[in-house]
Amino acid sequence: MDLLAIGQSVMVQRSNGETHRATITRLNAERDIVSVQWTEADGDKGKDLLLDRIIETNPEIFAPKAVVPPAPTKTLSQPQPQPELQPLPKPQPQPQSESQLQVEVTTPTPLLLPEDPQKPDTETLVRYFRKQLVLHPLVAVGLSGPMKASGIMVCVRKRPLNPKEVAAREVDVISLQPPNMLVVHLLRLHVYREPTLDHQNFCFDRVFDENCSNAGVFNYTARPLIRHIFEGGWATCFAYGQTGSGKTHTMGGVVEGKNQNVMDSIYAMAASEVFSIIQEPESAERNLSVGCSFFEIYNTKIYDLLSPGNKQPLRLQENCQYQMEVMDLIECPTSGTAEVLALLNTGNGARALGKTSANEKSSRSHAIFQIVLRSAISKETYGKFSLVDLAGSERAVDNFSSNSQTCTESAEINKSLLLLKECIHAMGRKSSYIPFRDCKLTQVLRDSFIGKNVKTCMIATIAPGMCSVNSTLNTLRYANRVKELKVQAPVVPPMPPLTAQLSKVLESDATEKRQAADPIGDIPTYTLDGQIYCSLCSQPVTCMPVLCPYFGLSNKKPQ
């Protein structure tokens, strides 16, 4: 910049490739920008150019100053090489074999950069970052320990680069630091500075890398939940992520050609664990039986995957215990893992699948596989384990299909996932209204978030490529919001001591309400841990008569 001056004539190159003379009108040393002006037939024109562009088009101005400062004009007239110029040019690297290049990359150095240190690529920066991580790999044997007392367990699984991404030379921008740390690398490009990496850090209950098998994922996610259903609880494990991130691979097993190997699925491992525990002496005393059901939610309708013949849509209703149930759903009694595998093969064959531009074998529905423990005598439900394989979210720019059915399926999938996200946001804000009734998916998963004696585990699957980094960040932020939710039984608020003055006030105040609301005097009740409570004031009503602040004195037996 010191070699240039305002009013100096320099050569500039236009965007159309034309080169001509122009006059310098302004110099910006801080940003290395040179403003030039020239005259044409239709008037004066100007342009702001980077200093590097001026150097390329005017080598005679800058080369002499670096070699022979006293006589720049004389140096220009002598094209022969000068002895002083030999140390300045950068030596060209010698060609190396493939093995030599591999040794150079794997050799630990303070900083691995490409040939041009001013423009480091993403892969090199990510590789340098990973060399500083301290890794603690997970052990895929034994139990992972007790579940969290409250809240939802959230795990993240990263899949490897697929052949299509490898052929496109995609860069893996996801770094894991087991057991619970995850980093997303975003390349930030700057106009006047070298590129840098922006590291987005996340912390979850567990993270699984691309080398972890389905058995290792099952050990830390679904396996601790099985003990909970043998204690009379409800459990849910669901997989969430973008399309093609590995949800069906995790829940349903490895896809081999047109078939799916269910032996390697969390479905089959969970069933095997259930039959292993039910043979224990403590579980044998409870005299429990095992039943399995398999259904899907496709385009706002519920279909039974185990129903023979044509599938008919089923109804979803709320029972007397305020739990959602699918009416006329087939529940097949099972006595071993082999029978469960046969049911899984039948259900997977009937599930709605399709081919999209984002995924060749994309699940077009939400699949729910349930393992139900019932009393062998009374047939009452003792515990239930729901395994949910959610359909993947899809962006319109990633789906180039002109098929109207595929577009309708994608719209319904995104709508249901959006409504599920709205419900999670409402629970995170502790809103008084949670829109669970807006779609079938949120109604089915309602008890997994706000039910009594429920434990839930979420497996978020992500893709490692740079082209999927935006969807990956959305999935991780979604999972981070789910991790903050609390799942616990409702607490009955204690009633204040009933003094004589308070009794008169309540009895006089409730007379008009009782006549307007219920002249007979019946009070709505609910049962919690064997104790009957009033649904309006939460006062125990085991002893009659009952004085309710809303219905007054009632001698009617609670129903």
> Residue 457 CB: number of other CB atoms within 10 A?
25
* Percent with pLDDT over 90 in the chain: 19
Compare 99 and 464 and report the one with higher pLDDT: 464
- Kindly tell me if the per-residue pLDDT of 171 is higher than 50: yes
- Kindly tell me if the per-residue pLDDT of 324 is higher than 50: yes
Query: Which residues are known binding-site members for ATP?
Result: 241-248
> Using CA atoms, how far apart are residues 197 and 558, in angstroms rounded to an integer?
65
> Is the bond leading into 79 cis (omega within 30 degrees of zero)?
no
- The helix (run of H) or strand (run of E) holding residue 414 is helix 404-428
Q: How high is the pLDDT of residue 303?
A: 92
Q: What is the mean pLDDT of the chain?
A: 74
Compare 396 and 99 and report the one with higher pLDDT: 396
Residues 6+ positions from 557 with CB-CB distance below 8 Å: 544
- The helix (run of H) or strand (run of E) holding residue 479 is helix 469-483
Query: Which residues are known binding-site members?
Result: 241-248
- What structural domains and CATH numbers belong to the chain? 9-85 (no CATH), 149-170+214-483 (3.40.850.10), 500-554 (no CATH)
- Kindly tell me if the per-residue pLDDT of 140 is higher than 80: no
DSSP state of 390: P
How would residue 104 be classed by pLDDT, with cut points 50, 70 and 90? Answer: very low
Among candidate residues 451, 443, 531, 534, the one with its CA nearest the CA of residue 490: 451
385-397, pLDDT tens digit by residue? 999 999 887 766 5
266-291, pLDDT tens digit by residue? 999 999 999 999 988 888 888 899 99
User: What six digits make up the tokens of 345?
Assistant: 């093969």
509-538, pLDDT tens digit by residue? 545 444 443 333 455 666 666 667 665 555
Q: How high is the pLDDT of residue 194?
A: 73
Q: Residue 189, Cα to own-chain centre: how many angstroms?
A: 26
> Using CA atoms, how far apart are residues 60 and 19, in angstroms rounded to an integer?
15
DSSP secondary structure string for all residues of 263-298 = GGSHHHHHHHHHHHHHTSHHHHTT-EEEEEEEEEEE
Report for 135-139, 181-185, 259-263: range of highest mean pLDDT: 181-185
- Kindly tell me if the per-residue pLDDT of 247 is higher than 60: yes
pTM of this structure: 0.64
Q: How high is the pLDDT of residue 108?
A: 35
24-64, pLDDT tens digit by residue? 888 887 778 888 888 887 777 888 888 888 888 888 887 75
**Low-confidence winner among 52-61, 164-173, 245-254, 496-505 (lowest mean pLDDT):** 496-505
